[in-house]
Chain A
Amino acid sequence: MRYLLIALLLAGCSTTVPVTQKFPNATPELMKKCEDLRKIEVDKVAITEMMKVVVHNYSLYWECSAKVDGWQEWYNAQKKIYDEIAK
């Protein structure tokens, strides 16, 4: 009788049924690290050779910049998608 009473009193206790939401995967290309800038490895170098290293480094900067732009777009898009759920 005592156990029945306890069971009845506890009948109203809640149970949770969570809706799990996975954290969105990042785009693989954005996960790649930005390369280190190239150095001039010799003591004497012609201005044209130095220019080639500078051009290469500019390319690396713009590649990295494209990734940052990608991350910003990724974040804004994911935020928009997941804010829609909360509405």
Chain B
Amino acid sequence: MWILSILSDAAIHTIFGLGILGTIAGFVLGFIPFIKAYRLAIQVVALLTLVFGVYLEGGLADYKEWELKVKEMEAKVAQAEAQSANKNTEIQEKVVEKTKVIREKGRDIIKYIDKEVIKKEEVIKYVENCPVPKDIIDVHNQAAELNKGATK
């Protein structure tokens, strides 16, 4: 209710209170001369004020309830954001570590080829006698670029 953002809680309670007081005045205190003179007008205005006051009080109660729910939700969202950030850090560390291990293992295997495999007699003979044919290299290179055809 937009009107709740304009009226303060005190104003709403005052309208409701005036409505009650006016209704009592208009219907119960009719014997007082001043009230007796304007009785009908007081009754009409007081009843309208009371109805509006009750309506605003209801709206205010509902608004307060929703405000509590919003605060509860904001707290949950803040907690979720913190959890999300923690999880991100955890995943970041895990992926960085995994990538590092994979790279190191790859380098180790390449070093092993350079230091050990290349010195083996059987391998030396094979390298001297059997260079890799160009067709095989082309096929390898085509396979390495399989993704290029799919890129638009």
Q: Which residues of A contact B (CB under 8 A)?
A: 7-8, 10-15, 17, 19-22, 24-30, 36-40, 42-48, 50-59, 62-63, 66-67, 69-70, 73-74, 77-78, 81-82, 84-85
Residues of A contacting B70 in the complex (Cβ-Cβ under 8 angstroms)? 17, 19
Of listed B73, B102, B110, residue having the most chain A CB within 10 A: B102
Residues of A contacting B118 in the complex (Cβ-Cβ under 8 angstroms)? 48
Q: Chain B: which residue is nearest A86 at the CB level? A: B76
Q: List 27 A-B contacts (CB under 8 A).
A: A11-B2, A11-B55, A11-B56, A12-B55, A14-B1, A14-B2, A15-B2, A19-B74, A20-B77, A21-B77, A21-B80, A22-B81, A24-B88, A25-B85, A29-B91, A36-B144, A36-B147, A44-B132, A44-B134, A51-B117, A57-B144, A66-B95, A77-B91, A78-B84, A81-B80, A84-B76, A85-B73
Supposing A21-B77, A77-B91, A85-B77 touch, asked if A39 and B106 sit within 8 A by C-beta, the answer is no
For residue A66, give the distance in angstroms from its CB to the closest CB of chain B: 4
Q: Chain B: which residue is nearest A77 at the CB level? A: B87
Q: Chain A: which residue is nearest B143 at the CB level? A: A37
Q: How far is the CA of A13 from the CA of B126 in the complex (A)?
A: 87
Residues of A contacting B77 in the complex (Cβ-Cβ under 8 angstroms)? 19-21, 85
Chain B contact residues: helix, strand, loop or mixed: helix
Residues of B contacting A44 in the complex (Cβ-Cβ under 8 angstroms)? 131-132, 134
Residues of B contacting A48 in the complex (Cβ-Cβ under 8 angstroms)? 113, 117-118, 123, 127
Chain A contact residues: helix, strand, loop or mixed: helix
For residue B108, give the distance in angstroms from its CB to the closest CB of chain A: 10
Supposing A39-B145, A47-B132 touch, asked if A27 and B55 sit within 8 A by C-beta, the answer is no
Residues of A contacting B66 in the complex (Cβ-Cβ under 8 angstroms)? 17
